[in-house]
Amino acid sequence: MTGPVFAVLLFLSSSLAQTSSDSCMCSMSPSAGVSVKCISQSLREIPSLSADTSELYLQQNQLSTVPAGHFDSLRDLRVANLSHNPFHCGCNIRYLRAWLRRNKAVTPEAPRCASPQSLANRIISDLRDEDFSGCVREPCSGALFNFVVGLMLLGLIGLLFWSFRLAKDLTFILGIGERHVGLEAESLRSFKPKHRKRMSFGAGSSNTRGDELERPLLNMEILPQIIDALNRQHNIKIKET
């Protein structure tokens, strides 16, 4: 027996020994691959399997489910017998159902459900989606997830363009003389010397700021330019009320 063959058989023997008190029969040939026979061994879990496994006999054990992805690496599998096991057809059996549907040619005898009572004796591969209506839906595949995200991004971009266009067409009317929150009157005052007004206070005034105070007036000369700029650049119309 060559070194690689002995290593594979040693790996299978150690894995199977941890699962059952009895030993499974393992054989390997260069042409047929690895054959694993664990019949009537009271196995409750499926042992680790080599990727070179070509024949798998697990009938008449105590298997209740198959972990998700457990058989995906078995590319050379030609025969798999999982019959006569007490499979519980709950949410966790969906992986086995999908695998059996893809590999009907390698399963000579279809495994059946043992529980729950409503699905007892049903062929696992024949279970319908309605039988798992109470289960959480499986996550989206990568391609479907990318498609959904891309569609959402396109919708968001379209919504942004629509918002910008709507904002551009909006008309704001600002009535002069009304009280507007956030409108700073000081920003419209002129600080040119010719527009300043000198205010005098009496000698007996109690104002502590000084005898004279310069206060700028509203620059009415630039008000038309301000109104025109607001109308042309921001579509804001100002009317007198």
78, 108 contact by CB (below 8 A): no
- 144 Cβ contact partners less than 8 Å away, ≥ 6 residues apart: none
Q: Which tens digits make up the pLDDT trace of 67-91?
A: 999 999 998 999 999 999 999 999 9
Element (H, E) at 230: helix 223-234
What single letter denotes the amino acid at residue 183?
L
Torsion of CA 145, 151, 152, 157, to 10 degrees: 150
pLDDT above 90 covers what percent of the chain? 38
pLDDT above 70 covers what percent of the chain? 61
Question: Can you say whether the dihedral through the CA atoms of 105, 106, 108, 113 is positive or negative?
Answer: negative
What single letter denotes the amino acid at residue 60?
Q
Q: Which tens digits make up the pLDDT trace of 118-157?
A: 999 999 999 999 999 888 765 555 677 788 889 999 999 9
* pLDDT at residue 217 greater than cutoff 70: no
Q: Residue 3 has which token pair? A: 């070194």
* pLDDT at residue 204 greater than cutoff 90: no
Lowest mean pLDDT segment, chosen from 25-29, 95-99, 210-214, 229-233: 210-214
Report the alpha-carbon distance of residue 208 to residue 189 in Å, rounded.
24
pLDDT reported for residue 87: 96
* pLDDT at residue 63 greater than cutoff 50: yes
* pLDDT at residue 235 greater than cutoff 90: no
CA-nearest of 130, 135, 59, 72 to 99 is 72
Q: Supply the pTM of this predicted model.
A: 0.50
Higher pLDDT pick, 102 / 143: 102
User: What is the residue-averaged pLDDT of the chain?
Assistant: 75
Domains and CATH numbers, the chain: 3-132 (3.80.10.10), 166-201+211-241 (no CATH)
Q: Which tens digits make up the pLDDT trace of 140-199?
A: 556 777 888 899 999 999 888 888 777 776 665 555 555 544 545 555 555 555 555 544
- 127 Cβ contact partners less than 8 Å away, ≥ 6 residues apart: 89, 93, 97, 113, 119
CA-nearest of 82, 95, 92, 85 to 36 is 82
Mean pLDDT within 27-47? 85
pLDDT reported for residue 33: 80
